[in-house]
Structure 1
Amino acid sequence: MRPDSLAILEVPAFSTLCNAAFALRREVFVLEQHVPPEEEHDAYDLTATHLVAVLEGEVVGTLRIVFLPEHAKIGRVAVHRLHRGRGIARTLMGAAMELSRARGQERFYLTAQIAALGLYEKLGFVAFGEEFLDAGIPHLEMKTY
């Protein structure tokens, strides 16, 4: 369930709020999931559209959208461990898809950790291809049709 005071904001790369999102990504991916630090950031961070979920003045969730000709690629979805299970990731994903549609992109793609497949399936994503490891974590590619 979405908290009433949750705000979803689009933020410029390396702004104060985006840097807070990068810190959250580091906490979730590097510290919790043991993703190598050098794999956590890439060149897309410079040009991606970054969304943050802010609750009571704190960045509690984030994702990024990379607009490619063939689809909007959504990734780096992270929610602070103390705020999981409250619909924040779903709310962020909905906002990302709405923003992408407003910018003319109707097709979506992502690579999902196996543990998160259910979230994305509820949003209309369908898994395809073979399971693969990304930073040692099992993933599947997913897209909307």
Structure 2
Amino acid sequence: MIIKIVESDNELQQAYKVRMEVFVNEQKVPEEIEIDEHEDAATHFIGYEGAKPIAASRLRFVEEYGKLERICILKDYRGKSHGMEIINAMESVIIDKGYKQAKLNAQTQAEGFYQKLGYDTVSGDFLDAGIPHVTMIKQL
């Protein structure tokens, strides 16, 4: 997979399309909360297999953290290490910006995946968009 930081409106629309497919169509997150007030302040990432957009995420800097958000891979492309690849790309940007910690709110079904990447759970379960989540942090 080729991962790049979104640089054009076309790439941003492709990232939104991947997010809509995964979060709205597949996971039933309400469309009106998927795209939110933080989009303009975020660095967006898009992952391609060939010319096809298959992964997306966004990164914001909040307090002392690089905050990883909206990480998703199209269903047919999961299980191929693409999630790890996009996390690594995001963490590289966090480090390049001089931050030493990454933070994310993980769906509880993905908690084990993030633990394997070095994230520690620092909260109890909570609901976000009706889906159970936990907050996780990693020292970079």
TM range (shorter): over 0.9
Q: 1: CA distance between counterparts of 2:86 and 2:123?
A: 25
* Matching residue of 1:100: 94
Q: How does 1:127-142 map to 2 (within 5 A)?
A: 127-142=121-136
- 3-state secondary structure, aligned to 1:96: helix
The normalised TM-score by structure 1 is 0.92
Superposed structure 1 runs of 4+ greater than 2 Å apart? none
Which of 69, 74, 77 is the equivalent residue of 2:68?
A: 74
Deviations 1:59-102 (A, max 9, x none): 11011000123101001001011101101111000010011101
Secondary structure at 2:122 match in 1: strand
Seq. identity, %: 32
3-state SS of the aligned residue for 2:123? Answer: strand
| Residue aligning to 1:22 | 16
SS in 2 for 1:34: coil
Partner of 1:3: none
- Structure 2 unpaired stretches of 5+: none
1:144 Cα offset (Å): 1.4
Provide the aligned C-alpha RMSD in A: 1.1
1:4-15 alignment to 2 at 5 Å?
A: 6-12=1-7, 15=9
Name the CA distance, whole Å, in 2 between partners of 1:48 and 1:143. Answer: 19
Q: Which runs of 5+ in 1 are unaligned?
A: 1-5
How far did residue 11 of structure 1 move? 0.7
- TM-score normalized by the length of structure 2: 0.95
Amino acid at match of 1:7: I
- Could you say which residue in structure 1 is the equivalent of 2:105? 111
Cα deviation code 1:21-62 (max 9, x no counterpart): 101101100111000111101111111001111111011101
SS in 1 for 2:29: coil
Of 49, 58, 64 in structure 1, the residue corresponding to residue 52 of structure 2 is 58
